[in-house]
Amino acid sequence: MMAGEKKEQGTSALHVTDGNKHVVGLKALRVHISPDGGAWFAQGLEVDYAAVGKSIDEAKNNFKSGLSKTIREHLRMHGTIEKLLQIAPQEAWSEFFSASEEGSLKLSFSMLDVHDLTPKPETSGKKTAFPFDKILFVEPEPAHVK
């Protein structure tokens, strides 16, 4: 590498599992956050996942939490994240490369997520919540005095 040359970080994904416990990592995933009407749209590039928010921060948070929930669903259904690792469509890449720096945000996103899919123990038929969905408060009627 030449002096002063910027080293490009490649995107990578990691999945380690021990029984029902899974650790999933994503490193240097490119995310393009662009305005959409009065909201913001966050589109992952190396992983085709998208989220929306009313502000840039909300779009980032929804991207992170939604992707985490999506990873959990993949692990629950397939035990792997292989099917998650699909790149975004051409349209998203074109928009990313043609977008100006002022109007949108290009981020490098990394996350490390731990998922424990161990089935929760049954409470042996005992219900922990009330067996009804409303509590009605009844005012006592004043006693009648003769």
Partner 1 sequence: MAGDQVPLKDVLQVLKLAPTAANVRIAISGNTVTLVKDGVPEVIDLIDPVPRKMLRRFAYKYGIPIEYFFHIEMVIRGSKKRQ
Q: Footprint of partner 1 on this chain (CB under 8 A)?
A: 34, 36-39, 41, 43, 49-54, 58, 62, 65-66, 69-70, 72-74, 77-78, 83-84, 86, 89
Q: How far is the CB of 25 from partner 1 (least distance, A)?
A: 19
Q: How far is the CB of 145 from partner 1 (least distance, A)?
A: 52
Question: Residue 25: in which H helix or E strand, if any?
Answer: strand 21-36
**Which residue number, 86 or 108, has a Cβ lying nearer to partner 1?**
86
- Evaluate whether 46 touches 111 at the Cβ level (below 8 Å): no
H-type alpha helices, 17-138: 56-78, 90-98
Tokens of 43: 């589109």
Q: Give the Cα separation of 45 and 82 in Å (integer).
A: 16
Q: How far is the CB of 63 from partner 1 (least distance, A)?
A: 9
**Which residue number, 35 or 110, has a Cβ lying nearer to partner 1?**
35
**Which residue number, 11 or 51, has a Cβ lying nearer to partner 1?**
51
End-to-end CA distance of the chain: 102
